[in-house]
Amino acid sequence: MTHPAVSSGRAAVITGGASGIGLAAAVKLAGLGMKVCIADIDALALESAATTIASHARHDSDVIAVAADVSRIEDVQVLKDRAFSAFGDVAVLMNNAGTEGGGQLFGDHARWQRILGVNLWGVINGVQTFVPEMIKQGNSCAIINTGSKQGITCPPGDTAYNVSKAGIKVTTEALAHELRNIGGCRITAHLLIPGFTFTGLTRVHTQSKPDAAWMPEQVVDFMLESMARGDFYILCPDNAVPREIDELRMRWAMDDIIENRPPLSRWHPDYKSAFEDFLKEGLSK
């Protein structure tokens, strides 16, 4: 069972497609018979990735690669023109391009701008540029935006990244609402929330896959299975954190508001024991 947009002969556009989850998604979809357009800012990696994807595609012409900085609306508009010119329509849009964190609250302003530009504005630019054209097609489509658990629980120390991923969550929820209120619209929106995944960003810190991490291919398989079920929130586990723990962490974060606790109380020394008890109780049920 697959999402109706994941169909042989139709096309997918994937940003951040030269590595990690984006490349794994491109290879998988090409293997399922889809035409694929990948975009990335790294031109050398883009060329290598296109060769890899083409080896899984039906024809070399079913794969195109476009160098793009998704923080620039002009680049995303060029990407849209290239994809529609090559393939005629777009069935799957995966706004996946991202940059790692490092944006401390009082950190470098330029780093903040870059993180928000790529992670958040890259998604907004993709949605605003592609989705109106996809609506006009009148057929089944899917939009996947890559978020993060950090955009929900917001652990301290990586504020710019958390803000960018929280913004993606809000944007994707709004997109789903808009789409379901358009008469006859057959487009679904999905928020991909990966767990710890061994990607290019992880390799900055280690060349060996940590035991706790999933491979990008596992994330993509989980994503496609979730889309086939009609899931909006695609909350991925990994080899260290099962879904039950993720759910409890997220519930605690929301309860900070409901219980009027200090913000980010999970990391507050006065609430350390209370959170540990909450986790134990929840896992014992």
Catalytic residue set: 161
Cα–Cα distance for residue pair 234/144, rounded to 1 Å: 10
> What SS3 class is residue 106?
coil
Q: In what order do the strands lie in the sheet with 11-15?
A: 63-67, 35-40, 11-15, 92-95, 141-146, 187-193, 233-235
Cα–Cα distance for residue pair 214/149, rounded to 1 Å: 15
Residues pairing with 187 in the sheet: 141
The 8-class DSSP code of residue 261 comes to P
Nearest alpha carbon to residue 129 among 202, 78, 171: 78
